[in-house]
Structure 1
Amino acid sequence: MAPSLLLPMEDSQLFSPQVLKQAPRSGLEGAVSLEAQAPAGSNLSFTSSFSSSSPSANGNGHSGHESANGNGISAGQRREHFVTSQTLLEQSKNFASSNAGANGTTKKPNILYIMADQMAAPLLKMNNPDSVIKTPNLDKLAETGVVFGSAYCNSPLCAPSRFTMCSGQLPSKIGGYDNASVLNPDVPTYAHYLRREGYETVLAGKMHFIGPDQLHGFEHRLTSDIYPGDLGWTVNWDKPEERQEWYHNMSSVMQAGPCVRSNQLDYDEDVMYKSTQYLYDWAREDPNTRRPFALTVSLTHPHDPYTMTRDYWDRYEGVDIPLPKVRMDREDQDPHSQRLMKTVDLWDNPIPEEAAIRARRAYFGACSFVDDQIGKLVQILKNCHLDENTIIVFSGDHGDMLGERNLWYKMSWFENSARVPMIINYPSQFEPKRVTESVSTMDLLPTFVDLAGGDASAVLPVDGKSLYNYLVSDEPGKDEVFGEYMGEGTVTPVYMIRRGPWKYTTSLVDPPQLFNLVEDPQELVNLATSSKHAQTFAAFNTEARKKWDFAAIHQDVLAAQRRRRLCWSALQIGRKETWDYQPPGVEKDRYIRSHIPLDDLERRARFPVVDYLGREKSAAATHHGIAGAAGE
């Protein structure tokens, strides 16, 4: 493992990998009335107050996850570390000798992690050969990579899912309850781990960090986020029947169709520009001084609103856009689904078939848009001779129901909402194959660390399990996913266990569900009350209650909601400060300026490197940067 990057070199031995490997793994009254929400005849009873001496949901004695600034670092201090893309690698000299190979390539592979937002895995051709969605670049990655065909998020909502993916820990352990939960700065993310392994960690695009820390271990963040970084989207279990104005509504479906421009297109094109520029800049740097990169490119498509430019809309002209397979009247829905219908204002506003077709067509077009961006990134890797030493990982934060079961968006544990695409592509090392066991995005952190040559379990305990063995062997893996959902449409956490053919969901107030996804892939037959499956159900029921302290976690979430709502209401008075991240806009050294020798700049900016007669110089024979620009 590389030396620690968290401390100056003279102090790095305090937290060296050798030292870390020796370390062991490591009251509110008036709560929402759960009795009122419990099904009749359930005989469930709950405490009405929370004692500070009660076991904390996160298991470490902390019940507060939303500290105002966590590490006490001022915005001015944090800004000292922000640089523009053309100067990123000037700060990377200290790891040149340990990471540069004799042939001019880095010893460790680069990592390109591409995320899509709200991409429903069951609808993609990589998982469904009959799919009409056109994703040739994804299909190519799947053909040459390792496909995880039963991959899930651990919380079907943007911020909690991303926090869990970033940290490798379940939401209840890090306070990642909803889209306004603060991820504390002392929660290690895969960016922290990879920096310790000698990587330059870079983020372009959406991650929905909430709070004053908007980097969370990323050395550089190239774009702003598309969503607010404040407490404004806090869920309110004290008024579960009250729709917040920021909740989803059905306008995304009713207004679906082609567009010339949208906010999301503006955002994703900025993400792509900054990402591709970073790759070009990295390729032009001196291989003897640059570190391997771990670049996360996080797109906001195909997330609603369901609209896309005419060229993508027209790709589906004449295509038979399939309607949802499962229709279900609202009276036949389970209680959580009924709440979701009310949450998104669907209960009294059924969607016409024509609008559903328009929304799905636009969504398919948005998937094709994402696919084109993947193709551009892959091509840049090839053009810059980076493809042979770059691992490509593709996944998402959650799916989209897209009208299945008469539900839209996410927020449920049904397959379209909870499953995500997942591919790890590195053909020179990992043979193409398909993994059928269930895994989750929480498993990516330890996987990234293993790919970097480290060991996450030797540093701090995480809930995720590395997928590395799937990549290098055919031995069966864990085949297990745990999930927690505490966001919109809930009145208490909804838990999920996925193992083998089974999916089990439960909560304090809703009847449990048990589905056999092999025999019932559409999740139509709830086996929770089946005498034939009583033993299986009882085992899941016992496991869930051993794993989660339902009442304590409920109280933790409720307390966090109340704290955040109080703070948010106070922050609306008087002067307003924002946590929204704004990247630096300084371009002083990128273009022609009087203080830069013109020939040096032009040669430095050209790739591949040429000598003074314009002859291309091979990567093995030269390096880039100033020496290369001088023709050496």
Structure 2
Amino acid sequence: MTARPNILVLMVDQLVGTLFPDGPADFLHTPNLKKLAARSTRFQNAYTGSPLCAPARASFMSGQLPRRTRVYDNAAEFSPDIPTYAHHLRRAGYQTSLAGKMHFVGPDQLHGFEERLTTDVYPADYGWTPDYGKPGERIDWWYHNMGSVTGAGVGEITNQLEYDDEVAYEAVRKVYDLGRRKDDRPFMLTVSFTHPHDPYVARRKYWDLYEDCDHLEPEVGAIDYEAQDGHSKRIFDANDFRNFDITKEDIRRARRAYFANVSYIDDKIGEILEALEGVGLSEDTVIVFLSDHGDMLGERGLWFKMSFYEGSSRVPLMVSAPGMEPGLVRTPASTVDIAATLADLAGVDMASVAPWTDGESLVPVAAGQARKMPVRMEYTAEASEAPLVSIREGRFKYNHCELDAPQLFDLEADPHELTNLADDPAHAETAAAFAAKVREYWDMAAYDAEIRESQARRHVVYEALRQGDYHPWDHQPMKDASERFMRNHMDLNILEASQRWPRGE
């Protein structure tokens, strides 16, 4: 391992952490991830910073929760003055590249990366801005609906399969370029896929792997709407559940396609890891595997994310790195910890911004040291009408929203979160302690006001910018054909030798 290791970050979208009790569950056909798990520190209780794509990803990259990043939802700008792990590593001399999704909103589509090998799969503008001023409003053209469940099944090509095929191709090509490069800087390559995010449509060869799967039905079946908590009711409404008749077979097909797409992603990750090994970089590269958030997959009758329940908020997290012994870590962790962890592994100083970060390095946590701060989550996007916050510490999770009754769950005794202990006299002291921490960490009234101001501003700007000439912010990957393959300003002999790995005679 070099003094400053190379870094490969492998991110997937909407992968359930409960499917990774200690690496991938046995029933999943994921040989490449299982091989990676065997050499990794595996964080069993890892959580997202926010159970939605753009807020989760901004938090993961910056080490800051959404209230600090102001990426409140999937249409909130990620400010270019917020340092990400790409900025920290690039400042320290790393070459930084991104292939795939990161859901950056705003004119800055790089956020510290020197190059971005693909465009994003989702729009970069303010069009998906929710509106707290219109509680209960459902925006049909971009809100999730249950059609992803009723339409689940087999497809050889989809919008998202096309995207992830391209991400994998560009990532493998980049790994080969890194192996035969003349640049002697360490590299950080982030590869971010959009699967297994819905729609639940999978290629036949992966679908067939789960024909006899014993996990095609949720462990906790649908709970009647009136018996759901306040936020879950809002999620049901936002997902337009009344206009769909979800059958048992729909559920089985959706879950089967989801598992199939986990296997599809495993294949794509295998291609990248094979390329890394082929060019001799495996031993010199830290590898991080994680998801932005999870998917309820029909548990409690809920689908997709937007919730603090385990299916939505818990994510897989594995780190293969020197100084971090392979094995299982049960201490709660967060994707918000990744920026500090990568800086720690690379020997990069983040002290100048440390007072304004919400994560901490997982290197000492993996070695058995206690966390300095509890794991926290925030949610302020569609299906919410006021900010929701959560604290995961020890065996407990505590959820708070000014509109709803608090929730306290003992995750060791009640892993399916079926018994709310917030009003249980036997847990009054614990509930009070968590309520005090909510007041310590958040000014809920101020947070709510900040979100409403942001939404109002963005609605005005979006409507204005869509009038007249429109100049989109979507990233346009640059490909200079005059510098590819063989051109007449190149020496053929030098070219063929330099582009070969291992080098010829």
Of the structure 1 ranges 297-306 and 587-596, higher mean CA displacement relative to structure 2 is found in 587-596
Distance 2:242 2:96 in 1: 44
| Shift in Å, 1:276 | 1.0
Partner of 2:139: 244
Of the structure 1 ranges 135-144 and 594-603, higher mean CA displacement relative to structure 2 is found in 594-603
Q: How do 1:584-599 residues align onto structure 2 when only pairs under 5 Å count?
A: 584-599=478-493
Answering whether residue 282 of structure 2 is matched by residue 387 of structure 1, we say yes
Q: How do 1:255-270 residues align onto structure 2 when only pairs under 5 Å count?
A: 255-270=151-166
Q: Tell me: higher relative CO, structure 1 or 2? Use CA pairs within 8 A at least 6 residues apart.
A: 2
Match of 2:269 among 374, 377, 397: 374
Q: Deviations over 1:286-323 (max 9, x none)?
A: 3xx42110000000100000001111111112333430
Identity of aligned residues (%): 48
- Mind listing any 5+ residue stretches in structure 1 that lack a counterpart? 1-104, 612-632
Distance 1:491 1:344 in 2: 15
Partner of 2:7: 111
Partner of 1:352: 247
User: 1:223–1:583: 8 Å Cα contact kept in structure 2?
Assistant: yes
Distance 1:432 1:580 in 2: 39
Q: Secondary structure at the match of 2:287?
A: strand
Q: Which amino acid aligns with 2:72?
A: Y
User: 2:391–2:397: 8 Å Cα contact kept in structure 1?
Assistant: yes
Answering whether residue 209 of structure 2 is matched by residue 276 of structure 1, we say no
Q: How do 1:120-519 residues align onto structure 2 when only pairs under 5 Å count?
A: 120-124=16-20, 126=22, 129=25, 131-245=26-140, 246-286=142-182, 289-327=183-221, 328-426=223-321, 429-461=323-355, 462-471=357-366, 473-478=367-372, 480-519=374-413
Distance 1:181 1:579 in 2: 13
Q: Secondary structure at the match of 1:202?
A: strand
Q: CA distance change for structure 1 residues 459 and 555 in 2, over 3 Å: closer, same or farther?
A: closer
| Shift in Å, 1:569 | 1.5
Q: How do 1:587-626 residues align onto structure 2 when only pairs under 5 Å count?
A: 587-611=481-505
Partner of 1:43: none
Q: Deviations over 1:581-626 (max 9, x none)?
A: 0101212222122222222222221110011xxxxxxxxxxxxxxx
Distance 2:382 2:343 in 1: 33
Q: Deviations over 1:227-250 (max 9, x none)?
A: 000000001111122111210011
| Shift in Å, 1:374 | 1.6
Q: CA distance change for structure 1 residues 606 and 176 in 2, over 3 Å: closer, same or farther?
A: same
| Shift in Å, 1:269 | 1.2
Q: Which amino acid aligns with 1:567?
A: V
Q: CA distance change for structure 1 residues 459 and 231 in 2, over 3 Å: closer, same or farther?
A: closer
Distance 1:495 1:446 in 2: 22
Question: Between Structure 1 and Structure 2, whose CA radius of gyration is higher?
Answer: 1
Q: How do 1:23-62 residues align onto structure 2 when only pairs under 5 Å count?
A: none
Distance 1:180 1:326 in 2: 32
Q: Deviations over 1:467-501 (max 9, x none)?
A: 11134x23343472111100110000001000001
Q: Secondary structure at the match of 2:316?
A: coil
Length-normalised TM-score, structure 1:
0.78
User: 1:248–1:343: 8 Å Cα contact kept in structure 2?
Assistant: yes
Distance 1:226 1:123 in 2: 25
Q: Which amino acid aligns with 1:274?
A: E
Q: Deviations over 1:8-37 (max 9, x none)?
A: xxxxxxxxxxxxxxxxxxxxxxxxxxxxxx
Q: Which amino acid aligns with 2:350?
A: A
| Shift in Å, 1:144 | 1.5
| Shift in Å, 1:110 | 0.3
| Shift in Å, 1:429 | 4.1
| Shift in Å, 1:547 | 1.4
RMSD across aligned positions (CA): 1.5
User: 1:126–1:139: 8 Å Cα contact kept in structure 2?
Assistant: no
Match of 1:520 among 414, 418, 421: 414
| Shift in Å, 1:370 | 1.0
Q: Deviations over 1:500-558 (max 9, x none)?
A: 01000011111110000000000000001101101110111111012111111101100
Distance 1:321 1:307 in 2: 17
Distance 2:81 2:42 in 1: 33
Q: CA distance change for structure 1 residues 602 and 222 in 2, over 3 Å: closer, same or farther?
A: same
Distance 1:532 1:106 in 2: 53
Partner of 1:557: 451
Of the structure 1 ranges 359-368 and 541-550, higher mean CA displacement relative to structure 2 is found in 541-550
Q: Secondary structure at the match of 1:201?
A: strand
User: 1:497–1:505: 8 Å Cα contact kept in structure 2?
Assistant: yes
Distance 1:147 1:267 in 2: 28
